[in-house]
Chain A
Amino acid sequence: MVKIKPSLSVKLGPLTLKNPVVTASGTFGYGEEYSKYFDLSLLGGITTKGLSLKPMQGNPPPRLCETPSGMLNAIGLQNVGVDDFIKRKLPFLAGFDTKVIANIFGNTVEEYEAVTARLDRAKGVHAIEVNISCPNVKKGGMAFGTDLEATYDVIRAVRNATSLPVIAKLSPNVTDIVPFADRAAHAGADALSLINTLLGMAIDIKNRKPRIANITGGLSGPAIRPVAVRIVWQVYRAVGLPIIGMGGIMNAEDAIEFMLAGATAVAAGTASFVNPLAPVEIIAGIERYMIENGIDHAHHLIGQVQA
Chain B
Amino acid sequence: MIARIRKNEELLEGYFIVDIEAEGIGLRKAGRPAVPGQFYMLKAGPSTDPLLRRPLSLHRKLSDDSVRFLYRRAGRGTALLSRLIPGDEIDVLGPLGNGFPMPAGIKHALIVGGGIGIAPLMALADYISDERKDISAAAFIGGRSREYVLGADEFSRKGIETFTATEDGSLGKKGFITHILDEYIHEHKHKGTGGWAIYSCGPHPMLISVAAMAKKYGIKNYTSMESNMACGIGACMGCVIGVLDREHGSSVYKKVCDDGPVFDADDIVW
**A→B interface (CB under 8 Å):** 26-29, 33-34, 36, 49, 57-58, 60-66, 68-71, 73, 75, 78, 221-222, 250, 270, 272-276
In the complex, the answer to whether A75 meets B237 with C-beta atoms within 8 Å is yes
In the complex, the answer to whether B48 meets A273 with C-beta atoms within 8 Å is no
Q: Does B22 contact A (CB under 8 A)?
A: no
**B→A interface (CB under 8 Å):** 43, 48-53, 91, 93, 227-228, 230-242, 252-253, 258
In the complex, the answer to whether B231 meets A272 with C-beta atoms within 8 Å is yes
Closest 4 CB pairs of A and B: A29-B235, A64-B238, A273-B231, A69-B48
Partner of A273, one of B49, B236, B242: B236
In the complex, the answer to whether B93 meets A73 with C-beta atoms within 8 Å is no
- Tell me the minimal C-beta distance from B240 to chain A in angstroms: 5
The complex places the Cα of A78 from the Cα of B228 at a distance, in Å, of 17
In the complex, the answer to whether A68 meets B233 with C-beta atoms within 8 Å is no
Residues of chain A within 8 A of B252, CB atoms compared: 57
Closest to B47 in A: A69
Please classify the interface of chain B as helix (H, G, I), strand (E, B), loop, or mixed, using the class held by over half of its residues. Answer: loop
In the complex, the answer to whether B241 meets A61 with C-beta atoms within 8 Å is yes
In the complex, the answer to whether A221 meets B228 with C-beta atoms within 8 Å is no
Given A62-B227, A65-B228, verify A27-B236 contact (CB < 8 Å): yes
Closest to A222 in B: B48
Given A70-B51, A71-B52, A73-B230, verify A26-B43 contact (CB < 8 Å): no
Given A62-B227, A273-B230, A274-B43, verify A68-B235 contact (CB < 8 Å): no
- Tell me the minimal C-beta distance from A30 to chain B in angstroms: 9
The complex places the Cα of A252 from the Cα of B265 at a distance, in Å, of 44
Residues of chain B within 8 A of A61, CB atoms compared: 227, 239-242, 253
Partner of A33, one of B43, B49, B235: B235
Residues of chain A within 8 A of B49, CB atoms compared: 68-69
The complex places the Cα of A250 from the Cα of B227 at a distance, in Å, of 24
In the complex, the answer to whether B233 meets A64 with C-beta atoms within 8 Å is no
Partner of B228, one of A29, A62, A275: A62
Interchain Cβ contacts under 8 Å between A and B, 9 examples:
A26-B236, A27-B236, A61-B240, A63-B228, A63-B237, A64-B228, A64-B236, A66-B52, A78-B253
